[in-house]
Amino acid sequence: MTEDKKAKNKKILGIKGLNDVLPEDAPVWELLENTAEAVLKSYGYQRIRTPIVEETALFARGLGAVTDIVEKEMYSFEDALNGDRLTLRPESTAGVVRAVVEHSLTYNGPKRLWYSGPMFRHERPQRGRYRQFHQIGAEALGFGGPDIDAELIMLCQRLWDDLGLQGVRLEINSIGNAEERNRHRADLIAWFEQNRDVLDADAQRRLYANPLRILDTKNPAMQEMVNAAPKLLDYLDRDSLAHFEGLKKILEYNRIPFTINPRLVRGMDYYNRTVFEWIGGKAGAMATLCGGGRYDPLFEMFGGRPTPSCGFALGVERLIELLKEQGGAGVAQYTDVFIAHQGEDAMLQAFALAEALRGTGLDVILHCAPAASGSSFKAQMKRADESGATFAILLGEDELKGGKASVKALRAPETENNQRLVPMEQVADYLIGQIIGAEDEHPCGCSGLCSGPSSHGIH
Ligand code: HAM
């Protein structure tokens, strides 16, 4: 083969850090997405979908110029067609606030919104850290009190409970307002200057530009010094303290356990007052599953009216990983029926039967030939079994002669007589009767109430 041809035939692979979600993981993704959607709806949150690409200036202004994301993680490019500076969204809060200001969505009062979708950050790929990852987030816009902060936190707690997740813990902090942070900042810089010999290169660079973020360092050599640094909580005035106390009171009243982490500052400049993170995972591999807080100044930064707001976003991949670790992924992909057939007449009748069954609410997979030569019943039954179907229907010459179909219960014990001939026009009723009869033993253990991936359409 010539070099030219070799290059042409070379496999094209996916981009590093941008992952394919394969069908085997589809059930656990659906479980998370469906549960989150149901929980968000139950708190009155409405869905918003904003573009994946925004003007670069939106993130630079909203997130802050001296943040990891804006400094080194954004996928920014120039639109070759018109020269616009654009960026793949690294997060969604800035885009949601832009859309809310642009469409005056809060003109008649506060709004509770949620979103779900891919985000992009050029980070070093490793477990739980990807260049394309997914977030599900909520933004409550136009609410000034600590009650909404508590509601968002309790919504997360409900989501973890509904997903059956264990060992997810909550950290909260208040980072006050700009004035309080300025007072703290002066003392913090003085403290870091006294400890200059301990500061790593990153911290040196941030010393005057963003000293608060130095508190967030993971560098073991800096922990002792950072732990002893002046605490922002000690600089809060009466209103900020009252806000923080208000949040703690609601959480305590509702028995939501939390710890106060005075070093929790979060990675974007738009935050003020309440910040929080949910942390979970195996010992030694703990990860931040979800993070959020108040961002009262953001609307004005985008030319909107003052609109106090609070929100969070959870990392879908990190939660999926935890769900799988904790056994929540054992949801098999069930379909109700697989139809196998042989011969042209049978194929035509199989199509009609599949449509009729789907019309009654059953999920049906129809065998389609992988090659023009067709396939044996044996090969088709193997596919039927792999599909996870509850029943297989066989349509061959013999069945058609008698106007019947063979219905085989695939999940019944082998010893039972689990195959019978059913008149074609009675197949739907027969299957529904069988499924309802077996409802107590529903495969997902839901007593027939589930709406998850293992449910059949006739619930
Ligand atoms: P964030 O803390 O940057 O906050 O991201 C939220 C969550 O997204 C993280 O806790 C983590 O689970 C996940 N995440 C972040 N980066 C990656 C990555 N490279 N790979 C995998 N997962 C990742 C925000 O994005 C804010 N917009 C949250 C917010 C909403 N604050 C107020 N409203």
Please give the Cα distance from 119 to 130 (Å, whole number). 10
Pairing of strands 169-174, 259-260: parallel
**Tokens 């979103």 belong to which residue?**
115
Pairing of strands 85-88, 53-55: antiparallel
Reported as a single tens digit per residue, the pLDDT across 308-319 is 999 999 999 999
**Tokens 């253990």 belong to which residue?**
445
Q: Quick check: 439 pLDDT over 80?
A: no
Q: Which of 263, 340, 324 is nearest to 27 (CA)?
A: 324
Reported as a single tens digit per residue, the pLDDT across 13-72 is 999 999 999 988 998 999 999 999 999 999 999 999 999 999 999 999 999 988 889 999
Please give the Cα distance from 217 to 170 (Å, whole number). 19
Beta-bridge partners for 291: 277, 313
Reported as a single tens digit per residue, the pLDDT across 301-357 is 999 999 999 999 999 999 999 999 988 555 456 789 999 999 999 999 999 999 999
Distance (angstroms) between ligand 1 centre and the Cα of 232 equals 23
Distance (angstroms) between ligand 1 centre and the Cα of 239 equals 28
C-alpha count within 13 angstroms, C-beta hemisphere, residue 63: 26
Reported as a single tens digit per residue, the pLDDT across 98-136 is 999 999 999 999 999 999 999 999 999 999 999 999 999
Distance (angstroms) between ligand 1 centre and the Cα of 289 equals 8
Instruction: Supply the residue whose CA is at minimum distance from atom 31 of ligand 1.
Output: 292
The reply to whether the predicted model has a pTM over 0.85 is yes
Q: Which of 383, 289, 401 is nearest to 345 (CA)?
A: 401
Position 6 scores a pLDDT of: 80
117 conformational bin, left if phi > 0, alpha if psi -120 to 50, beta if neither = left
The answer to whether the CB of 189 falls within 8 A of the CB of 211 is yes
3-state secondary structure of 406: strand
Q: What domains can be seen in the chain, in order of their start residue?
A: 23-176+236-325 (3.30.930.10), 337-441 (3.40.50.800)
Poorest-pLDDT segment among 155-169, 211-225, 439-453: 439-453
Reported as a single tens digit per residue, the pLDDT across 196-215 is 999 999 899 889 988 988 99
The binding-site residues of ligand 1, defined as CB within 6 angstroms of any ligand atom, are 91-93, 121, 123, 128-130, 133, 135, 137, 139, 267, 288-293, 295, 311-313, 315, 317-318
Report the residue count for the chain: 459
Biggest alpha carbon–alpha carbon distance for the chain: 94
Beta-bridge partners for 340: 394
Position 447 scores a pLDDT of: 37
Confidence of residue 246 (pLDDT cuts 50, 70, 90): very high
Q: What DSSP string runs through 67-82?
A: SHIIIII--EEE-TTT
Q: Residue 159: in which H helix or E strand, if any? A: helix 146-163
Distance (angstroms) between ligand 1 centre and the Cα of 249 equals 26
How is residue 71 annotated by DSSP? I
Residue 127 identity: R
Q: Residue 276: in which H helix or E strand, if any? A: strand 274-280
Position 456 scores a pLDDT of: 41
Q: Residue 44: in which H helix or E strand, if any? A: none
Please give the Cα distance from 363 to 453 (Å, whole number). 11
CA 29, 30, 35, 40 torsion-angle sign: positive
The answer to whether the CB of 289 falls within 8 A of the CB of 168 is yes
Beta-bridge partners for 394: 340, 406
Q: Residue 139: in which H helix or E strand, if any? A: strand 132-141
Mean pLDDT of the chain: 91
| Nearest atom within ligand 1 for CA of residue 137 | 30
Among 139, 149, 170, 288, residue to substitute to test ligand 1 (most atoms within 8 Å of Cβ) = 288
Position 373 scores a pLDDT of: 73
Q: Which residues of 335-373 are buried (b: 16+ CB within 10 A; e: fewer)?
A: bbbbbbbbeeebbebbeebbeebbeeebbbbbbeeeeee
- Provide the percentage of residues in the chain whose pLDDT is more than 70: 93
Beta-bridge partners for 93: none
Q: Which residues of 259-286 are buried (b: 16+ CB within 10 A; e: fewer)?
A: eeebbbbbbbbbbbbbbbbbbbbeeeee
Tokens of 386: 């792999």
What phi and psi, each to the nearest 5 degrees, are found at residue 323? -60, -40
Q: Computed over its alpha carbons, how large is the radius of gyration of the chain?
A: 28
Distance (angstroms) between ligand 1 centre and the Cα of 238 equals 30
